[in-house]
Amino acid sequence: NAGVTQTPKFQVLKTGQSMTLQCAQDMNHEYMSWYRQDPGMGLRLIHYSVGAGITDQGEVPNGYNVSRSTTEDFPLRLLSAAPSQTSVYFCASRGSTAGTDTQYFGPGTRLTVL
């Protein structure tokens, strides 16, 4: 199993550009989440999904869109990038049955917005 994969690893954008951060998992997990990590702030939840076709907002959703058309994939879209979105982004997944409460994290995407 590859676990949780994220692409790209690094990205530089100009203000106003759009892009999609890709996330995929091969563990057949129902639950997937996107977090951003900023120095001194820990990880903050952007959006999450409890299954294909179902998404919801987290703590810091503004400026981001998500969709979940398959169990495996959960892309994060930046509609119009802003310097405040410079961050490291992590995707995570976990199972939905009892005893599968551990979230597994991808390696992250480091995004810089100029």
Residues in contact with another protein by the rule CB under 8 A: 4, 30-31, 33, 35, 40-45, 48, 50, 58, 90, 92, 96, 101-108
Shortest distance in whole angstroms from residue 53 CB to another protein: 15
Choice between 82 and 88, CB closer to another protein = 88
Task: Please answer whether residues 25 and 100 qualify as being in contact, where contact means their C-beta atoms are separated by less than 8 angstroms.
Answer: no
Nearest-5° Cα angle at 28, 10 to 34: 35
Choice between 7 and 80, CB closer to another protein = 7
- Radius of gyration of the chain from its Cα atoms, rounded to whole angstroms: 13
Shortest distance in whole angstroms from residue 80 CB to another protein: 26
Shortest distance in whole angstroms from residue 107 CB to another protein: 5
**Most distant CA atoms of the chain, gap in Å:** 44
Asked if residue 8 has a cis previous peptide bond (ω within 30° of 0), the answer is yes
